[in-house]
Structure 1
Amino acid sequence: MKKNTKAQKCIKITASACIVLATLFLLQRLLVPKYVDDVVEGAFIAEYYEEEKDHNVIFIGDCEVYENFSPAVLWQEYGINSYIRGSAQQYIWQSYYLLEDTLRYETPEVVVFNILSLQYDQSQKEAYNRMTLEGMEWSPVKVKAILASMKEEESFLDYVFPILRYHSRWSELTRADVQYMFRTKPVSHNGYYMRVDVKAAENVPEGRILGDYSFGENAWKYLDKMTALCEEKGIELILIKAPSLYPYWYPEWEAQVEEYAAARGLRYLNFLELGEDTGIDYSTDTYDGGLHMNLSGAEKLSRYLGRMLTEELGVPDRRGEAHLAALWEEKLAAYEAEKEEQYRYYGMK
């Protein structure tokens, strides 16, 4: 009789613990931001894991990659299978660990990295950390990325158990938080964030005078690590500066990157200096006054880069591969559908 009582007590405790854990899990799923309606950039990193991992080209970096290049165009016109692992204000140490993370699944022939983040030697905002780090799948790489990124006031446990961070988010909940508790809708096209609207670049401010134009030791350390990792894996690393007019890109910064690339035999493309070749028109090809390209600008940049990847680096045209072509047929249909939807929304067509 005592044995039965003890067994029943054990079952009750176990059942209660399971109920508590299940409840906490459901609450966490409810309270964590879904990034499907507002601030969609927070969903980009997680979307990669839903993809088949067979990309020839991987982009990594901040908004100057995910708003300025279109993998759909690279496929449609050159047969290049690519993906953008971008996120808002992605710091260079996060880019490095995202590269490490990507190499757990695949080894691309080319990695394209936008160098604007060299200006930061430490994390600026927790919100930007979370938009990059929370979407990563758990692995030792994610742990290293979190530890490299956390600000002093942040806690590692808050990343392990996001409910600790978002427990007070009740007043911000929307229908989307319930609808997308377990699976969110795609918000990018292979990492590309589409905008078709137009706002010409006018009265772009000059950069303010800085006390020191040198990039920090931490930033250089992670660029060195990225360069070494690509060399070790036989990957061509291309450094780029997107043609965004703001934040201002200082000549002193440009000189440091040019010297670094030349010393290590890396390709470096500064699209601010390639306007004649790319055809970028700042009166029609940006949606926010020159900070980022719109669809027109992104497609122009993608055509230029695709031509270079094909002709100079020999990245293969894979449009003849039946399975991949079928995947891209679906992707292009979604791409064109959103394009038409946005044109209607902005009254452009």
Structure 2
Amino acid sequence: MKIIRSILFTLGFIAILFTITPLFAPYEIDQFAKGNSTAFNGIFAEDTNRLDMLFTGDSESFTSFMPMRFWEKLGIKSYNIAVASQNLADGHKTINHIIQKQNPKLIVLETNQVYTNIGGLANLVDKSMTNTLANVFPILNYHDNWKQILSLQKAQSVEIKRNPLKGWRINRKENAYEGGPYMHKTLEEREIPTLNRHYLDEIVSLCKEHNIQLLLVSVPSPRNWSYEKHNGVSNYAKENQIPFLDLNLEADSMGINWQEDTYDKGDHLNIKGAEKVTKRLVEYVGQNYQIKSEYTEAEQDLWKKDFDAFIQQINP
């Protein structure tokens, strides 16, 4: 009898969740946008299958790669879908979701996340189960919306609007790196952790399946990068026939000034450093890829307005 009562209680609880969940979920929202920043969510305001290039990674990516410069110099429509502290498991999930709505010709993956800890198998399984349940029951993500419910208001929508920075984040602060040279040539290799390698393999397979070219890029970061990590990623890239551009080795030739081009002592680049990295990457993409974005007249007008807004934001 107790077993029957438990089953009935569970079924009743699930039925209640299904009933009240719509009250807690935002209106007309791509559910993947929940929990992400306004900068990231701007991609959902872009027309379907009109972006030709994506940047992914963690904060090293979204502080370094400026998509509007690719539009200005190469006419390429792109977006930076990097997420702070993102590991490769989450990165794979992000890419897999975005390419359901976009058909990029090239994805640039910043490699700091290649060494970001994913956690043990138990943590990974637990996270996977949590994400699955949250997708079925948005109430698990929006439980704080009970105040709107009590006042007979619908839950707040996540803000989704065009973003002229296309996912890049501005930081003008200057906080110098004083540590000196950090890329000391060696044959030693920092091995890519097993789970990280698995999800990097998954990203590579996903790109091949969708006929997307993949480019691995390391941005200058004395706090995060080393020659050992360079060797680890370089060997992986060679094994999988993927181009790899390590800009830590080109910091001097790009004119990176560690007194002025970082806002947190060599962890991330500020706007000055981002301009230099983006200039180099624009040059590399222009020389090595044949990417041409197509435009309707309306799109031309939209991107021109986005670029004007971009210029205003970087030159206040």
| Shorter-chain TM-score above 0.5 | yes
In structure 2, the residue matched to 1:86 is 82
In structure 2, the residue matched to 1:334 is 309
1:241 is matched by which residue type in structure 2?
A: S
In structure 1, the residue matched to 2:4 is none
Q: Is structure 2 residue 263 aligned with structure 1 residue 291?
A: no
Contact 2:173 2:263 in 1 (8 A): yes
1:102 is matched by which residue type in structure 2?
A: I
Name which of structure 1's ranges 321-330 and 69-78 shifts more when overlaid on structure 2. Answer: 321-330
Gaps of 5+ in 2: 1-14, 28-34, 184-188
For residues 60 and 135 of structure 2, what CA distance do their matches in structure 1 show? 26
The structural deviation recorded for 1:250 is 3.2
The structural deviation recorded for 1:204 is 7.7
The structural deviation recorded for 1:168 is 6.0
Contact 2:24 2:138 in 1 (8 A): no
The structural deviation recorded for 1:317 is 6.4
Indicate the SS of the match to 1:274: helix
The RMSD of aligned alpha carbons is 3.7
In structure 2, do the counterparts of structure 1 residues 202 and 262 end up closer, same or farther at CA, with 3 Å as the change threshold?
Answer: same
In structure 1, the residue matched to 2:43 is 48
Contact 2:52 2:293 in 1 (8 A): no
In structure 2, do the counterparts of structure 1 residues 221 and 295 end up closer, same or farther at CA, with 3 Å as the change threshold?
Answer: same
Indicate the SS of the match to 1:273: helix
Q: Is structure 2 residue 170 aligned with structure 1 residue 198?
A: no
1:274 is matched by which residue type in structure 2?
A: E
For residues 236 and 294 of structure 1, what CA distance do their matches in structure 2 show? 28
Indicate the SS of the match to 1:292: coil
In structure 2, the residue matched to 1:65 is 61
Indicate the SS of the match to 1:101: helix
Contact 1:44 1:86 in 2 (8 A): no
Indicate the SS of the match to 2:81: strand
In structure 2, do the counterparts of structure 1 residues 245 and 26 end up closer, same or farther at CA, with 3 Å as the change threshold?
Answer: farther
In structure 2, do the counterparts of structure 1 residues 243 and 84 end up closer, same or farther at CA, with 3 Å as the change threshold?
Answer: same
In structure 2, the residue matched to 1:224 is 201
Q: Is structure 2 residue 255 aligned with structure 1 residue 259?
A: no
For residues 326 and 104 of structure 1, what CA distance do their matches in structure 2 show? 25
Q: Is structure 2 residue 302 aligned with structure 1 residue 307?
A: no
For residues 303 and 279 of structure 2, what CA distance do their matches in structure 1 show? 17
In structure 2, the residue matched to 1:4 is none
Q: How does 1:1-349 map to 2 (within 5 A)?
A: 42-52=37-47, 53-123=49-119, 150-151=126-127, 156-158=132-134, 160-164=136-140, 167=143, 181-184=156-159, 186=161, 189-203=165-179, 213-246=190-223, 248-316=224-292, 322-341=297-316
2:56 is matched by which residue type in structure 1?
A: I
Contact 2:217 2:245 in 1 (8 A): yes
Indicate the SS of the match to 2:313: helix
Contact 1:61 1:114 in 2 (8 A): yes
TM-score by length of 1: 0.68
For residues 57 and 218 of structure 1, what CA distance do their matches in structure 2 show? 26
For residues 132 and 206 of structure 2, what CA distance do their matches in structure 1 show? 26
1:112 is matched by which residue type in structure 2?
A: V
1:326 is matched by which residue type in structure 2?
A: D
TM-score by length of 2: 0.74
Gaps of 5+ in 1: 1-16, 31-39, 125-146, 342-349
In structure 2, do the counterparts of structure 1 residues 321 and 312 end up closer, same or farther at CA, with 3 Å as the change threshold?
Answer: farther
Contact 2:55 2:65 in 1 (8 A): no
Aligned length: 281
Contact 1:41 1:88 in 2 (8 A): no
1:107 is matched by which residue type in structure 2?
A: N
Q: Structure 1, residues 180-213: CA drift from partner, whole Å, max 9, x if none?
A: 9225265672111122232222348989xxxx94
For residues 182 and 280 of structure 2, what CA distance do their matches in structure 1 show? 27
In structure 2, the residue matched to 1:3 is none
2:45 is matched by which residue type in structure 1?
A: E
In structure 2, do the counterparts of structure 1 residues 97 and 155 end up closer, same or farther at CA, with 3 Å as the change threshold?
Answer: closer
The structural deviation recorded for 1:115 is 1.7
For residues 77 and 271 of structure 1, what CA distance do their matches in structure 2 show? 20
Identity %: 24
For residues 293 and 68 of structure 2, what CA distance do their matches in structure 1 show? 13
Contact 1:58 1:111 in 2 (8 A): yes
The structural deviation recorded for 1:221 is 1.1
The structural deviation recorded for 1:305 is 1.0
Contact 1:285 1:293 in 2 (8 A): yes
In structure 2, the residue matched to 1:345 is none
